[in-house]
A and B are shown apart, each in its own frame.
Chain A
Amino acid sequence: MSEELRTNGHCQTVSVDDEPTAGVVGSESATAALCARAPVGLLAELTHRCPLQCSYCSNPIELERVNNELTTEEWCSVMTQAGEMGILQVHLSGGEPTARKDLEAIVSAASEAGLYSNLITAAVTLKYDRLEDLKKRGLDHVQISFQDVDAANAERIGGYPGATQKKLDVARWVTEMGLPLTINAPIHRQNIHNVGRYIDLAMELGAQRLEIAHVQYYGWAFLNRAALIPTYEQTIQSIDLVENARERLKGVLTIDMVVPDYYAKRPKPCMGGWGKGFMNITPAGKVLPCHAAETIKHLKFDNVRERPLLDIWLNSDAFNAFRGTDWMKEPCRSCAFREIDFGGCRCQAMAMTGDPRNTDPACALSPYHGEMVALAKAEAAKPATPFIYRNPRNAQAALKPADERPLVPAE
Protein backbone atom coordinates (compact mmCIF):
# COMPACT_ATOMS: atom_id res chain seq x y z
CA MET A 1 0.00 0.00 0.00
CA SER A 2 1.12 3.50 -0.66
CA GLU A 3 3.14 5.25 2.00
CA GLU A 4 1.15 8.39 1.33
CA LEU A 5 -2.17 6.93 2.31
CA ARG A 6 -0.78 4.98 5.24
CA THR A 7 0.75 7.95 6.98
CA ASN A 8 -1.37 10.73 5.53
CA GLY A 9 1.71 12.87 5.87
CA HIS A 10 0.90 14.72 2.68
CA CYS A 11 -2.19 16.44 3.66
CA GLN A 12 -2.37 19.91 2.39
CA THR A 13 -5.87 20.85 1.49
CA VAL A 14 -6.24 22.98 -1.55
CA SER A 15 -5.18 26.23 -0.06
CA VAL A 16 -3.17 25.50 3.05
CA ASP A 17 0.44 26.62 3.09
CA ASP A 18 2.77 23.86 4.04
CA GLU A 19 4.33 25.64 6.92
CA PRO A 20 2.40 26.40 10.08
CA THR A 21 3.76 29.13 12.29
CA ALA A 22 4.36 26.91 15.30
CA GLY A 23 7.89 27.07 16.52
CA VAL A 24 8.75 30.16 14.51
CA VAL A 25 10.74 32.44 16.75
CA GLY A 26 10.15 36.14 16.34
CA SER A 27 12.56 38.93 17.20
CA GLU A 28 12.18 41.21 20.21
CA SER A 29 9.68 43.85 19.09
CA ALA A 30 5.99 43.74 19.97
CA THR A 31 4.97 43.51 16.30
CA ALA A 32 7.31 40.59 15.85
CA ALA A 33 5.80 38.75 18.80
CA LEU A 34 2.36 39.11 17.24
CA CYS A 35 3.56 38.14 13.78
CA ALA A 36 5.20 35.01 15.11
CA ARG A 37 1.79 33.90 16.30
CA ALA A 38 -0.04 35.02 13.18
CA PRO A 39 -1.15 32.68 10.41
CA VAL A 40 0.87 32.44 7.21
CA GLY A 41 -2.09 31.83 4.90
CA LEU A 42 -5.44 33.48 4.28
CA LEU A 43 -8.23 32.08 2.12
CA ALA A 44 -10.45 34.95 1.00
CA GLU A 45 -13.78 33.68 -0.31
CA LEU A 46 -14.67 36.84 -2.17
CA THR A 47 -18.13 35.66 -3.26
CA HIS A 48 -20.26 32.53 -3.40
CA ARG A 49 -21.51 33.42 -6.88
CA CYS A 50 -20.23 30.90 -9.46
CA PRO A 51 -21.11 30.00 -13.05
CA LEU A 52 -20.33 26.33 -12.29
CA GLN A 53 -22.44 23.97 -10.18
CA CYS A 54 -19.99 21.24 -9.11
CA SER A 55 -21.58 18.81 -6.70
CA TYR A 56 -18.44 18.67 -4.51
CA CYS A 57 -18.13 22.43 -4.00
CA SER A 58 -16.32 23.33 -0.77
CA ASN A 59 -18.67 26.23 -0.06
CA PRO A 60 -21.25 25.72 2.68
CA ILE A 61 -24.70 24.51 1.63
CA GLU A 62 -26.14 27.83 2.75
CA LEU A 63 -24.70 30.16 0.10
CA GLU A 64 -24.10 33.81 0.95
CA ARG A 65 -26.25 36.39 -0.84
CA VAL A 66 -24.68 39.11 -3.01
CA ASN A 67 -26.00 41.98 -0.92
CA ASN A 68 -24.29 40.58 2.18
CA GLU A 69 -20.83 40.51 0.55
CA LEU A 70 -18.07 42.72 1.94
CA THR A 71 -17.55 45.99 0.06
CA THR A 72 -14.42 46.85 -1.92
CA GLU A 73 -13.13 48.97 0.97
CA GLU A 74 -13.73 46.19 3.47
CA TRP A 75 -11.84 43.61 1.39
CA CYS A 76 -8.98 46.06 0.81
CA SER A 77 -8.80 46.68 4.56
CA VAL A 78 -8.62 42.90 5.12
CA MET A 79 -5.60 42.73 2.78
CA THR A 80 -3.86 45.61 4.57
CA GLN A 81 -4.51 44.10 8.01
CA ALA A 82 -3.34 40.68 6.78
CA GLY A 83 -0.01 42.11 5.61
CA GLU A 84 0.49 44.02 8.85
CA MET A 85 -0.16 40.99 11.07
CA GLY A 86 2.40 38.85 9.23
CA ILE A 87 0.29 36.82 6.80
CA LEU A 88 2.41 35.88 3.76
CA GLN A 89 0.04 34.38 1.22
CA VAL A 90 -3.52 35.15 0.20
CA HIS A 91 -5.71 32.84 -1.86
CA LEU A 92 -8.43 34.74 -3.71
CA SER A 93 -11.21 32.25 -4.09
CA GLY A 94 -15.00 31.90 -4.09
CA GLY A 95 -17.32 30.82 -5.59
CA GLU A 96 -15.79 32.45 -8.59
CA PRO A 97 -13.60 35.38 -7.52
CA THR A 98 -13.71 37.02 -10.96
CA ALA A 99 -17.47 37.51 -10.42
CA ARG A 100 -16.41 40.46 -8.24
CA LYS A 101 -16.10 43.53 -10.47
CA ASP A 102 -13.63 45.01 -7.99
CA LEU A 103 -11.17 42.08 -8.05
CA GLU A 104 -8.59 44.48 -9.54
CA ALA A 105 -8.71 46.76 -6.49
CA ILE A 106 -8.47 43.79 -4.12
CA VAL A 107 -5.42 42.40 -5.97
CA SER A 108 -3.76 45.82 -5.83
CA ALA A 109 -4.40 46.01 -2.08
CA ALA A 110 -2.96 42.51 -1.57
CA SER A 111 0.10 43.40 -3.59
CA GLU A 112 0.64 46.68 -1.70
CA ALA A 113 0.36 44.74 1.57
CA GLY A 114 3.24 42.51 0.42
CA LEU A 115 1.08 39.39 0.14
CA TYR A 116 1.84 36.61 -2.35
CA SER A 117 -1.47 36.44 -4.21
CA ASN A 118 -3.06 33.39 -5.74
CA LEU A 119 -6.18 33.55 -7.92
CA ILE A 120 -8.24 30.35 -7.66
CA THR A 121 -10.59 30.44 -10.62
CA ALA A 122 -12.88 28.31 -12.78
CA ALA A 123 -11.69 30.61 -15.61
CA VAL A 124 -14.82 30.34 -17.77
CA THR A 125 -15.62 34.06 -17.56
CA LEU A 126 -12.09 35.50 -17.36
CA LYS A 127 -11.09 37.70 -20.31
CA TYR A 128 -7.55 38.27 -21.66
CA ASP A 129 -7.42 42.01 -20.90
CA ARG A 130 -8.60 41.48 -17.37
CA LEU A 131 -5.97 38.84 -16.66
CA GLU A 132 -3.29 41.11 -18.09
CA ASP A 133 -4.48 43.95 -15.84
CA LEU A 134 -4.47 41.68 -12.77
CA LYS A 135 -0.91 40.68 -13.57
CA LYS A 136 0.14 44.32 -13.83
CA ARG A 137 -1.38 44.93 -10.42
CA GLY A 138 0.86 42.27 -8.90
CA LEU A 139 -1.05 38.98 -9.12
CA ASP A 140 1.52 36.23 -8.44
CA HIS A 141 -0.09 32.91 -9.35
CA VAL A 142 -3.16 31.48 -11.07
CA GLN A 143 -4.90 28.20 -10.31
CA ILE A 144 -7.46 26.83 -12.77
CA SER A 145 -9.78 23.92 -12.05
CA PHE A 146 -10.57 21.30 -14.71
CA GLN A 147 -13.59 19.13 -13.85
CA ASP A 148 -12.29 16.36 -16.15
CA VAL A 149 -9.94 16.03 -19.12
CA ASP A 150 -12.82 14.80 -21.31
CA ALA A 151 -14.76 17.91 -22.28
CA ALA A 152 -18.23 16.35 -22.33
CA ASN A 153 -17.84 14.75 -18.91
CA ALA A 154 -16.22 17.87 -17.47
CA GLU A 155 -19.13 20.00 -18.60
CA ARG A 156 -21.65 17.52 -17.21
CA ILE A 157 -19.84 17.55 -13.83
CA GLY A 158 -19.60 21.35 -13.68
CA GLY A 159 -23.00 21.96 -15.25
CA TYR A 160 -21.51 24.51 -17.69
CA PRO A 161 -21.50 23.78 -21.43
CA GLY A 162 -18.45 25.06 -23.31
CA ALA A 163 -16.31 25.36 -20.17
CA THR A 164 -13.35 23.30 -21.32
CA GLN A 165 -12.31 25.40 -24.31
CA LYS A 166 -12.50 28.58 -22.23
CA LYS A 167 -10.36 27.04 -19.50
CA LEU A 168 -7.76 25.90 -22.03
CA ASP A 169 -7.62 29.42 -23.51
CA VAL A 170 -7.10 31.06 -20.12
CA ALA A 171 -4.48 28.48 -19.10
CA ARG A 172 -2.48 29.34 -22.23
CA TRP A 173 -2.75 33.08 -21.59
CA VAL A 174 -1.47 32.53 -18.06
CA THR A 175 1.74 30.84 -19.18
CA GLU A 176 2.17 33.22 -22.15
CA MET A 177 2.08 36.13 -19.73
CA GLY A 178 4.79 34.48 -17.64
CA LEU A 179 2.54 33.78 -14.68
CA PRO A 180 2.90 30.45 -12.87
CA LEU A 181 0.01 28.05 -13.44
CA THR A 182 -1.47 25.38 -11.20
CA ILE A 183 -3.98 22.92 -12.60
CA ASN A 184 -6.49 21.81 -10.01
CA ALA A 185 -8.00 18.37 -10.59
CA PRO A 186 -10.87 17.51 -8.24
CA ILE A 187 -10.87 13.69 -8.26
CA HIS A 188 -13.83 11.38 -7.59
CA ARG A 189 -15.34 8.16 -8.96
CA GLN A 190 -16.57 9.85 -12.16
CA ASN A 191 -13.11 11.01 -13.35
CA ILE A 192 -10.60 8.98 -11.33
CA HIS A 193 -9.79 6.91 -14.43
CA ASN A 194 -8.25 10.06 -15.95
CA VAL A 195 -5.61 10.90 -13.34
CA GLY A 196 -2.84 9.97 -15.80
CA ARG A 197 -4.32 12.19 -18.49
CA TYR A 198 -4.52 15.10 -16.04
CA ILE A 199 -0.75 14.80 -15.68
CA ASP A 200 -0.38 14.93 -19.48
CA LEU A 201 -2.67 17.96 -19.62
CA ALA A 202 -0.66 19.83 -16.97
CA MET A 203 2.54 19.12 -18.91
CA GLU A 204 1.02 20.18 -22.22
CA LEU A 205 -0.22 23.46 -20.72
CA GLY A 206 3.17 24.22 -19.16
CA ALA A 207 1.86 24.21 -15.59
CA GLN A 208 4.37 24.30 -12.73
CA ARG A 209 2.08 22.50 -10.41
CA LEU A 210 -0.77 20.00 -10.47
CA GLU A 211 -3.13 19.33 -7.60
CA ILE A 212 -4.62 15.87 -7.64
CA ALA A 213 -7.24 16.82 -5.10
CA HIS A 214 -9.42 13.88 -4.17
CA VAL A 215 -12.74 15.33 -3.08
CA GLN A 216 -13.06 15.87 0.67
CA TYR A 217 -16.48 15.02 1.98
CA TYR A 218 -17.87 18.16 3.60
CA GLY A 219 -20.86 20.33 2.73
CA TRP A 220 -21.96 19.70 -0.85
CA ALA A 221 -19.61 16.75 -1.27
CA PHE A 222 -20.98 15.12 1.90
CA LEU A 223 -24.45 15.46 0.40
CA ASN A 224 -23.19 13.92 -2.86
CA ARG A 225 -20.88 11.33 -1.40
CA ALA A 226 -22.59 8.34 -3.05
CA ALA A 227 -22.14 10.06 -6.42
CA LEU A 228 -18.47 10.78 -5.79
CA ILE A 229 -16.61 8.36 -3.56
CA PRO A 230 -14.26 6.00 -5.45
CA THR A 231 -13.50 2.44 -4.40
CA TYR A 232 -10.50 1.62 -2.23
CA GLU A 233 -8.82 -0.08 -5.20
CA GLN A 234 -9.34 2.92 -7.50
CA THR A 235 -7.94 5.19 -4.83
CA ILE A 236 -4.78 3.13 -4.34
CA GLN A 237 -4.24 2.88 -8.11
CA SER A 238 -4.49 6.64 -8.53
CA ILE A 239 -2.03 7.24 -5.71
CA ASP A 240 0.52 4.79 -7.15
CA LEU A 241 0.21 6.47 -10.52
CA VAL A 242 0.90 9.91 -9.02
CA GLU A 243 3.87 8.66 -7.04
CA ASN A 244 5.46 7.18 -10.16
CA ALA A 245 4.84 10.39 -12.10
CA ARG A 246 6.39 12.50 -9.33
CA GLU A 247 9.63 10.58 -9.64
CA ARG A 248 9.59 10.78 -13.45
CA LEU A 249 8.77 14.51 -13.50
CA LYS A 250 11.08 15.64 -10.71
CA GLY A 251 12.13 19.24 -11.33
CA VAL A 252 9.58 19.61 -14.14
CA LEU A 253 6.13 19.37 -12.56
CA THR A 254 5.23 19.54 -8.88
CA ILE A 255 2.31 17.23 -8.09
CA ASP A 256 0.50 17.72 -4.81
CA MET A 257 -2.06 15.17 -3.77
CA VAL A 258 -4.88 15.11 -1.27
CA VAL A 259 -6.37 11.63 -0.73
CA PRO A 260 -9.85 10.73 0.54
CA ASP A 261 -9.30 10.04 4.21
CA TYR A 262 -12.18 7.56 4.46
CA TYR A 263 -9.65 4.90 3.45
CA ALA A 264 -6.79 6.15 5.61
CA LYS A 265 -5.58 4.71 8.90
CA ARG A 266 -4.39 7.98 10.36
CA PRO A 267 -6.30 11.25 10.09
CA LYS A 268 -5.03 14.26 8.17
CA PRO A 269 -3.55 17.07 10.27
CA CYS A 270 -6.45 19.24 9.19
CA MET A 271 -5.42 22.84 8.42
CA GLY A 272 -2.09 21.97 10.08
CA GLY A 273 -3.95 22.35 13.37
CA TRP A 274 -6.98 24.48 14.26
CA GLY A 275 -6.09 28.18 14.49
CA LYS A 276 -2.43 27.45 13.95
CA GLY A 277 -1.38 28.69 10.54
CA PHE A 278 -4.43 29.52 8.51
CA MET A 279 -7.65 31.51 8.41
CA ASN A 280 -10.62 31.78 6.07
CA ILE A 281 -12.89 34.77 5.46
CA THR A 282 -16.38 34.23 4.04
CA PRO A 283 -17.96 36.59 1.46
CA ALA A 284 -19.85 38.29 4.31
CA GLY A 285 -16.71 38.78 6.41
CA LYS A 286 -17.00 35.96 8.93
CA VAL A 287 -13.57 34.74 10.00
CA LEU A 288 -13.29 30.95 10.21
CA PRO A 289 -10.50 28.55 11.22
CA CYS A 290 -11.37 26.45 8.12
CA HIS A 291 -13.86 26.73 5.30
CA ALA A 292 -16.20 24.08 6.76
CA ALA A 293 -16.13 25.38 10.34
CA GLU A 294 -19.69 26.72 10.18
CA THR A 295 -20.95 23.12 10.23
CA ILE A 296 -20.06 23.14 13.95
CA LYS A 297 -23.23 24.88 14.98
CA HIS A 298 -22.41 25.94 18.53
CA LEU A 299 -19.39 28.02 17.45
CA LYS A 300 -19.87 31.77 17.05
CA PHE A 301 -17.76 33.46 14.42
CA ASP A 302 -16.55 37.04 14.54
CA ASN A 303 -16.75 39.39 11.57
CA VAL A 304 -14.09 41.70 10.12
CA ARG A 305 -16.79 44.39 10.00
CA GLU A 306 -16.86 44.42 13.80
CA ARG A 307 -13.43 43.43 15.06
CA PRO A 308 -9.81 43.75 13.81
CA LEU A 309 -8.48 40.65 12.08
CA LEU A 310 -5.55 40.18 14.47
CA ASP A 311 -7.83 40.41 17.51
CA ILE A 312 -10.12 37.75 16.01
CA TRP A 313 -7.15 35.48 15.32
CA LEU A 314 -5.68 35.80 18.78
CA ASN A 315 -8.73 36.10 21.01
CA SER A 316 -11.97 34.91 19.40
CA ASP A 317 -13.82 32.00 20.96
CA ALA A 318 -14.03 30.09 17.68
CA PHE A 319 -10.26 30.15 17.10
CA ASN A 320 -9.52 29.18 20.69
CA ALA A 321 -12.14 26.40 20.79
CA PHE A 322 -9.83 23.68 19.40
CA ARG A 323 -6.40 25.31 19.59
CA GLY A 324 -3.64 23.19 21.04
CA THR A 325 -4.54 19.91 22.76
CA ASP A 326 -6.47 20.85 25.93
CA TRP A 327 -9.89 20.34 24.31
CA MET A 328 -9.12 16.74 23.36
CA LYS A 329 -10.93 13.64 24.57
CA GLU A 330 -9.57 10.09 24.54
CA PRO A 331 -8.06 8.47 22.52
CA CYS A 332 -6.53 11.75 21.29
CA ARG A 333 -5.63 13.18 24.70
CA SER A 334 -3.02 10.54 25.51
CA CYS A 335 -2.03 9.76 21.90
CA ALA A 336 1.61 10.09 20.83
CA PHE A 337 0.46 11.72 17.59
CA ARG A 338 -1.71 14.42 19.16
CA GLU A 339 0.72 17.21 18.21
CA ILE A 340 1.22 15.73 14.72
CA ASP A 341 -2.33 15.25 13.44
CA PHE A 342 -4.22 17.24 16.13
CA GLY A 343 -6.89 14.54 16.18
CA GLY A 344 -7.71 15.13 12.51
CA CYS A 345 -10.63 17.21 11.34
CA ARG A 346 -13.15 18.77 13.76
CA CYS A 347 -15.78 19.18 11.06
CA GLN A 348 -15.58 15.53 10.03
CA ALA A 349 -15.85 14.45 13.67
CA MET A 350 -18.94 16.68 13.91
CA ALA A 351 -20.52 15.41 10.70
CA MET A 352 -20.03 11.74 11.42
CA THR A 353 -20.16 11.41 15.22
CA GLY A 354 -22.15 14.45 16.31
CA ASP A 355 -19.34 15.77 18.57
CA PRO A 356 -16.50 17.92 17.18
CA ARG A 357 -14.23 16.96 20.11
CA ASN A 358 -14.26 13.30 19.17
CA THR A 359 -11.34 11.79 17.29
CA ASP A 360 -11.80 12.21 13.54
CA PRO A 361 -13.37 8.89 12.42
CA ALA A 362 -10.69 8.74 9.69
CA CYS A 363 -8.37 7.62 12.51
CA ALA A 364 -8.17 3.85 13.03
CA LEU A 365 -8.25 4.51 16.80
CA SER A 366 -11.72 6.06 16.57
CA PRO A 367 -14.55 3.73 17.63
CA TYR A 368 -16.45 5.05 14.59
CA HIS A 369 -13.69 4.20 12.10
CA GLY A 370 -14.91 0.73 11.10
CA GLU A 371 -18.33 2.02 10.27
CA MET A 372 -16.94 4.94 8.27
CA VAL A 373 -14.84 2.66 6.08
CA ALA A 374 -17.76 0.23 5.63
CA LEU A 375 -20.01 3.11 4.62
CA ALA A 376 -17.50 4.35 2.03
CA LYS A 377 -16.97 0.88 0.59
CA ALA A 378 -20.70 0.17 0.42
CA GLU A 379 -21.44 3.45 -1.35
CA ALA A 380 -18.57 3.03 -3.79
CA ALA A 381 -19.76 -0.49 -4.68
CA LYS A 382 -23.21 0.71 -5.75
CA PRO A 383 -23.94 2.68 -8.93
CA ALA A 384 -23.32 6.41 -8.54
CA THR A 385 -26.37 8.40 -7.46
CA PRO A 386 -27.38 11.44 -9.58
CA PHE A 387 -25.61 14.72 -8.73
CA ILE A 388 -27.27 17.24 -6.47
CA TYR A 389 -25.79 20.24 -8.27
CA ARG A 390 -24.57 23.15 -6.20
CA ASN A 391 -27.04 25.95 -6.85
CA PRO A 392 -29.38 28.11 -4.76
CA ARG A 393 -32.44 25.94 -5.48
CA ASN A 394 -30.77 22.72 -4.32
CA ALA A 395 -29.32 24.59 -1.34
CA GLN A 396 -32.82 25.48 -0.20
CA ALA A 397 -33.98 21.88 -0.48
CA ALA A 398 -30.88 20.55 1.28
CA LEU A 399 -31.26 22.93 4.21
CA LYS A 400 -34.50 21.27 5.25
CA PRO A 401 -34.00 18.75 8.09
CA ALA A 402 -31.98 15.82 6.76
CA ASP A 403 -32.65 12.20 7.62
CA GLU A 404 -28.85 11.70 7.75
CA ARG A 405 -28.24 10.35 11.23
CA PRO A 406 -24.83 10.42 12.93
CA LEU A 407 -22.94 7.13 12.97
CA VAL A 408 -23.22 4.71 15.88
CA PRO A 409 -19.93 3.86 17.58
CA ALA A 410 -18.54 0.33 17.21
CA GLU A 411 -19.35 -2.17 19.93
Chain B
Amino acid sequence: MGETRSAGRLIVDQQTRPYLPPYLKLRHDAGRDRWVLLAPERILSPDQTAVAVLQLCDGKRTVEEIAALLAKEYSAPVEVIKTDVLDLLQGLADKGYIKG
Protein backbone atom coordinates (compact mmCIF):
# COMPACT_ATOMS: atom_id res chain seq x y z
CA MET B 1 0.00 0.00 0.00
CA GLY B 2 1.40 3.35 -1.01
CA GLU B 3 1.29 6.47 1.10
CA THR B 4 -1.31 8.10 -1.11
CA ARG B 5 -3.90 5.40 -0.42
CA SER B 6 -7.07 6.76 1.13
CA ALA B 7 -7.87 5.25 4.51
CA GLY B 8 -11.30 6.80 5.10
CA ARG B 9 -12.57 10.17 6.24
CA LEU B 10 -10.30 11.85 8.78
CA ILE B 11 -12.12 13.40 11.71
CA VAL B 12 -9.80 16.08 13.07
CA ASP B 13 -9.65 16.43 16.86
CA GLN B 14 -7.23 17.90 19.39
CA GLN B 15 -4.94 14.88 19.30
CA THR B 16 -4.73 14.62 15.50
CA ARG B 17 -1.22 15.14 14.12
CA PRO B 18 -2.07 16.78 10.78
CA TYR B 19 0.20 16.91 7.75
CA LEU B 20 -0.01 17.83 4.09
CA PRO B 21 0.06 14.75 1.86
CA PRO B 22 3.13 14.60 -0.40
CA TYR B 23 1.16 15.52 -3.51
CA LEU B 24 0.29 18.98 -2.21
CA LYS B 25 2.66 21.89 -2.57
CA LEU B 26 2.35 24.96 -0.39
CA ARG B 27 4.38 27.62 -2.09
CA HIS B 28 4.65 31.38 -2.36
CA ASP B 29 3.42 32.75 -5.70
CA ALA B 30 5.85 35.66 -5.91
CA GLY B 31 4.31 37.29 -8.98
CA ARG B 32 0.90 37.59 -7.36
CA ASP B 33 2.27 38.07 -3.83
CA ARG B 34 0.19 35.36 -2.22
CA TRP B 35 0.51 31.80 -1.01
CA VAL B 36 -0.95 28.96 -3.05
CA LEU B 37 -1.66 25.35 -2.27
CA LEU B 38 -1.13 23.36 -5.46
CA ALA B 39 -3.10 20.11 -5.77
CA PRO B 40 -4.14 17.84 -8.64
CA GLU B 41 -6.23 20.09 -10.92
CA ARG B 42 -6.73 22.58 -8.10
CA ILE B 43 -5.19 25.79 -6.91
CA LEU B 44 -6.22 27.07 -3.50
CA SER B 45 -5.30 30.45 -2.07
CA PRO B 46 -5.08 30.09 1.71
CA ASP B 47 -5.24 33.34 3.67
CA GLN B 48 -2.50 34.43 6.07
CA THR B 49 -3.95 32.57 9.05
CA ALA B 50 -4.39 29.37 7.06
CA VAL B 51 -0.79 29.59 5.85
CA ALA B 52 0.41 29.99 9.44
CA VAL B 53 -1.53 26.86 10.44
CA LEU B 54 -0.44 24.80 7.42
CA GLN B 55 3.22 25.61 8.01
CA LEU B 56 2.93 24.03 11.46
CA CYS B 57 1.27 20.84 10.17
CA ASP B 58 4.31 18.54 10.14
CA GLY B 59 2.70 15.26 11.23
CA LYS B 60 4.41 15.52 14.64
CA ARG B 61 2.60 18.37 16.38
CA THR B 62 -0.96 17.77 17.58
CA VAL B 63 -3.76 20.23 16.85
CA GLU B 64 -3.59 21.20 20.54
CA GLU B 65 0.10 22.05 20.24
CA ILE B 66 -0.44 23.98 17.01
CA ALA B 67 -3.20 26.05 18.64
CA ALA B 68 -0.99 26.76 21.65
CA LEU B 69 1.88 27.97 19.43
CA LEU B 70 -0.41 30.27 17.45
CA ALA B 71 -2.08 31.59 20.59
CA LYS B 72 1.32 32.57 21.91
CA GLU B 73 2.47 34.12 18.64
CA TYR B 74 -0.68 36.18 18.11
CA SER B 75 -1.49 36.78 21.82
CA ALA B 76 -4.98 35.35 21.32
CA PRO B 77 -7.18 33.11 23.52
CA VAL B 78 -6.17 29.50 22.88
CA GLU B 79 -9.77 28.17 22.91
CA VAL B 80 -10.79 30.53 20.12
CA ILE B 81 -7.73 29.60 18.06
CA LYS B 82 -8.33 25.91 18.64
CA THR B 83 -11.88 26.12 17.30
CA ASP B 84 -10.68 27.98 14.20
CA VAL B 85 -7.87 25.51 13.57
CA LEU B 86 -10.22 22.52 13.93
CA ASP B 87 -12.71 24.09 11.48
CA LEU B 88 -10.02 24.90 8.96
CA LEU B 89 -8.37 21.48 9.10
CA GLN B 90 -11.64 19.54 8.96
CA GLY B 91 -12.63 21.52 5.87
CA LEU B 92 -9.32 20.75 4.20
CA ALA B 93 -9.42 17.10 5.29
CA ASP B 94 -12.84 16.71 3.67
CA LYS B 95 -11.32 17.88 0.39
CA GLY B 96 -8.46 15.40 0.84
CA TYR B 97 -5.86 18.09 1.50
CA ILE B 98 -4.96 17.17 5.08
CA LYS B 99 -4.03 13.78 6.46
CA GLY B 100 -3.44 12.80 10.08
Q: List residues of chain A with CB under 8 Å of any chain B CB.
A: 12, 15, 17-19, 21, 24-27, 31-32, 34-36, 38, 40, 85-86, 88-89, 114, 116, 118, 140-141, 143, 175-182, 203, 206, 208-209, 250-254, 256
Whether B40 and A180, one on each chain, are in contact in the complex, defined by CB atoms closer than 8 angstroms, is yes
Whether A17 and B42, one on each chain, are in contact in the complex, defined by CB atoms closer than 8 angstroms, is yes
Whether B41 and A118, one on each chain, are in contact in the complex, defined by CB atoms closer than 8 angstroms, is yes
Whether A177 and B2, one on each chain, are in contact in the complex, defined by CB atoms closer than 8 angstroms, is yes
Task: Classify the secondary structure of B's interface with A.
Answer: loop
Q: Does B60 contact A (CB under 8 A)?
A: no
Docked CA distance A12–B27 (Å):
23
Give every chain A residue within 8 A of B2 (Cβ-Cβ).
175-178, 206
Docked CA distance A208–B97 (Å):
10
Whether B41 and A180, one on each chain, are in contact in the complex, defined by CB atoms closer than 8 angstroms, is no
With A36-B31, A86-B29, A88-B36 known as contacts, the answer to whether A18 contacts B41 (CB < 8 A) is: yes
Give every chain A residue within 8 A of B33 (Cβ-Cβ).
25-27, 32
Q: Which residue of B lies closest to A24 (CB)?
A: B32
Give how many A-B residue pairs fall within 8 Å (CB-CB). Answer: 112
Task: Classify the secondary structure of A's interface with B.
Answer: loop
Whether A179 and B4, one on each chain, are in contact in the complex, defined by CB atoms closer than 8 angstroms, is yes
Give every chain A residue within 8 A of B25 (Cβ-Cβ).
116, 140
Contact partner of A178 among B22, B30, B38, CB < 8 A? B22
Give every chain B residue within 8 A of A26 (Cβ-Cβ).
31-33
Q: List residues of chain B with CB under 8 Å of any chain A CB.
A: 1-6, 8-10, 21-23, 25, 27, 29-34, 36, 38, 40-45, 93-96
With A141-B23, A178-B22, A251-B96 known as contacts, the answer to whether A209 contacts B40 (CB < 8 A) is: yes
Whether B30 and A32, one on each chain, are in contact in the complex, defined by CB atoms closer than 8 angstroms, is yes
Contact partner of B6 among A21, A34, A252, CB < 8 A? A252
- Top-10 shortest CB links A-B: A35-B31, A180-B23, A251-B9, A27-B33, A86-B31, A206-B5, A116-B38, A175-B2, A251-B94, A141-B40
Most buried by B among A12, A15, A17, A208: A208
CB distance from A26 to the nearest CB of B (A): 5
